[in-house]
Structure 1
Amino acid sequence: MIEVISEEGHGSHYFTLQWHLTAKCDQHCKHCYMYDSPTYEQEVRNELKYETCLNIIDDFSNAIDHWGISGRINFTGGDPLLKERVFDIIEYARRKSIAVGILGNPNHLDYKTAKKLKDLGVIRYQISIDGMEETHDSLRRKKGAFEDAIRAINVLNDVGIPSVVMFTLSKINANELIDVIRLVAKEGVSIFDFARMVPIGSSMKLKEQMLSPQEYRALLLRVLEEYKRLQENGTKTHYGRKENLWTLLYHELGLIKPLPKDKETIYPGCAIGCSILTILADGTVLACRRLPLAIGNVPNQSIREIFIHSKEHNRMRQVEGMKKCGRCELLQFCRGCPAVAYGVHGDYMAEDPQCWKGVQDASH
């Protein structure tokens, strides 16, 4: 079982809330997990009021103080900049010594807004680039969306907020991932990372666009070589490795070794059940935004109560019961992506459908 923060406070030393302040958005991306979700209309109708948001921040502050750990809130949406009194909400969180990041889009990010966010102490602003211009604009259903993203990066650089670019990977844009990796280095992006498309929400219509295990492994090898090349050339962009199957590749390359079976510590890998929660615009709480199973509700329950005592959340921690990962020597480091497993199989304990371990000829 995953070791978690307990009522005594041991476990992880950093806790993150991904908080979807609003479902309002003036984009309608083809792969968005928000639209076509069973929760979407409920989020629109029952968006939390300003005062309730402040109460939830108080609750989060009390939880991390009780556990003796640091906290971060990544405010997102929709577009979080469309949330009423969003600057006041950010300011309140900062007064509680909570780090604040923004996961947004570029549409309403002008210099004045970015400067305000900088003055409030926002530590990073994340936008998406999901391909080069034609592909990105097509996925956004908006001509000029790519140019908007580049403009936003320049604005963030100008005011001194670290820029983060995320890329959602599928067959639609896989052949442009290397180009985007080079682009963000050229544009001075602070952090780049990518994640696989999860077939939930609007992405359910794109399930056939998921890479096969063999295709995914081959792409990771190409990406690794490009990362090495750029780093050797002195790029200032940090290239993240949030994708859990990097662990399997590193193991195959001899860069990590599995721990003895009697060890119980869980190392980097899927953060579900360890150090993260998601809050939707109506207060529904999920273990991960890409895993659409409610584990509680704020403000009806406290964050401590949900995180420690939710039955569904505790089941997610029983990693030994994962149908493929539970038998794998890399269980403590990896665990694949339960959200992808759920999107494909309807069971987050099922095998990650893009894991190539044991798949014939995957390494050739």
Structure 2
Amino acid sequence: MFRISQYMRELAQAQQTGQWPAASRRGLGTPPGPVVIWNLIRRCNLTCKHCYALSADHDYTGELSGDEVATVMDDLKAFRVPVLILSGGEPLMRPDLFEIAERAKRMGFYTGLSTNGTLIDAPMADRIAAQGFDYVGISLDGLRETHDKFRRLEGAFDRSLAAVRLLRERGVKVGLRYTMTAMNAHDFAPLLDLMRAERVNKFYFSHLNYAGRGNIHRGKDAQFQSTRDALDRLYDRAWQAARDGLDEEYVTGNNDADGPYLLQWVAQRFPRWTEALRERLVAWGGNASGVNVANIDNLGEVHPDTMWWHHALGNVRQRPFSQIWMDTSDPLMAGLKASPRPVEGRCAKCQHFAICGGNTRTRAQQLTGNAWAEDPGCYLSDEEIGLPAGDATASTRRTTILMKEVDHV
């Protein structure tokens, strides 16, 4: 996750004081375990076009029991995992969700809920508020017509927006999640306006990653210029919020080129802070799959992140998560944990490699079969990443791959 607002607030402080703020020393020492996104259930009342879990509205056999979940939670706590994001499918369809959440809160985990929002009426909103989730993320992939088409349910937008309002009225910290593709890019600006009109203080912008139905629809991924235009708008909005002291959070995910692109944004507008920001971004390090973010699916399989459901590292029924996570005998995990990662092509030659860490590896693996190939979702030009003039091999290969994707759809 790329925390835009964090850097914009630092920039605003630097503009006010004439000095870039010192880095926080919080968390120094032995690093904690990864943030764990936990798909407790695969069943969902929707069949969204970009679902990485390929969920549908029926039961899936073999899911972890409540007792098994509790055992895994004990191991996660001992492993110093700080955050649990309870997800699905639709997690509200799991009967013991609130018992699991209560245990997580009691054990001291920062506990988030990732939901489509359509099952949240007033009584459910009361229950969520009483549970004390630290954060609830609700997906909106556009305005009414677009969202309902994405979610394949008429009325989904109205129900999800109603859920946002019900939770906000009860003091629950709630945010909007949006995945941009060529099919819904036109609704991005209106969604930002909706966020502010509804007094929601967090917006998560996700790039399409090629997993599950998102892989099926990858040919409809937003084109590079649309992505850049959207990020310009997002960065402008985040900067305005930071400058004006608004309590708004803007973050992105699934494309770590967003870090170098922010560096360019700052270099064009506030060049004196370019190097200070570069230091911060290098310290961030980009893609965290297999390092600082992890996934456990409904069957107990562990993955480097949620977009790697086609690659299992082990199952918590056979080995504790802590052992699976530290095992680098799996070549993918060995590469993800390597510093630097063994990326190839234009990623290996990129002057911003220390910032983005080679970006997400899923797109490369899905398109080429090689997890270490250059990321075809990188929207930075050859010039922007420092490739010498005339070195067009990587760009030619990337263009060929993308053209094949268009033919594929």
With normalisation by structure 1, the TM-score equals 0.85
Listed one character per residue, the Cα deviations across residues 11-53 of structure 1 (whole Å, up to 9, x for unaligned) are 534631100000111001111111189xx99x92211111111
Unaligned runs of 5+ in 1: 1-8, 65-69
Provide the residue aligned with 1:4 in structure 2: none
Aligned partner of 1:276 in structure 2 is 293
1:296 corresponds to which of 300, 314, 318 = 314
Partner of 1:339: 362
CA contact (8 A) 2:343 2:374 kept: yes
1:221 offset after TM fit, Å? 1.8
Structure 2 CA distance for aligned equivalents of residues 259 and 158 of structure 1 = 37
Q: Which amino acid aligns with 1:82?
A: M
In the other structure, the counterpart of 1:154 is: 165
Which residue of structure 2 aligns with residue 62 of structure 1? 78
| Whole-Å separation in 2 of the counterparts to 1:289 and 1:17 | 10
SS at match of 1:44: coil
What is residue 327 of structure 1 aligned with on the other side? 349
Aligned AA for 2:341? E
Following TM superposition, by how much is the alpha carbon of 1:103 offset from its aligned partner in structure 2, in angstroms?
Answer: 0.5
Q: Which has the higher helix share?
A: 2
RMSD, aligned CA: 2.9
Match of 1:25 among 28, 44, 56: 44
Question: Normalised by the size of structure 2, how large is the TM-score?
Answer: 0.77
Q: Which residue of 2 aligns with 1:267?
A: 284
Out of 314, 321, 327, the residue aligned to residue 309 of structure 1 is: 327
Q: Does 1:167 align with 2:183?
A: no
Distance 1:129 1:260 in 2: 32
Identity %: 23
Shift of 1:234: 6.1
> In structure 2, do the counterparts of structure 1 residues 356 and 114 end up closer, same or farther at CA, with 3 Å as the change threshold?
same
Cα deviation digits, residues 223-264 of structure 1 (max 9, x gap): 323433455566533212444222121232325449999xxx
| Native 8 Å contact 1:36 1:201 kept in 2 | no
CA deviation vs aligned residue, 1:305-345 (integer Å, no higher than 9, x gap): 11111423222223431113333232222132222323333
Deviation larger for 11-20 or 298-307: 11-20
**Which position in structure 1 is the counterpart of 2:19?**
none
The CA deviation at 1:88 is 1.0
Q: Which residue of 2 aligns with 1:189?
A: 200
How many Å apart are 1:89 and its aligned residue?
1.0
Within the alignment, does 1:219 sit opposite 2:237 as a pair? no
Structure 2 counterpart of 1:251, from 253, 256, 263: 263
Which of 146, 162, 183 is equivalent to 1:135?
146
Structure 2, gaps ≥5 residues long: 1-27, 268-272, 386-409
Residue of structure 2 in register with 1:90 after alignment: 101
Aligned residues of 1:75 and 1:103 also touching (Cα < 8 A): yes
Note closer, same or farther for the CA distance 1:222–1:95 as it changes in structure 2 (3 Å cut): closer
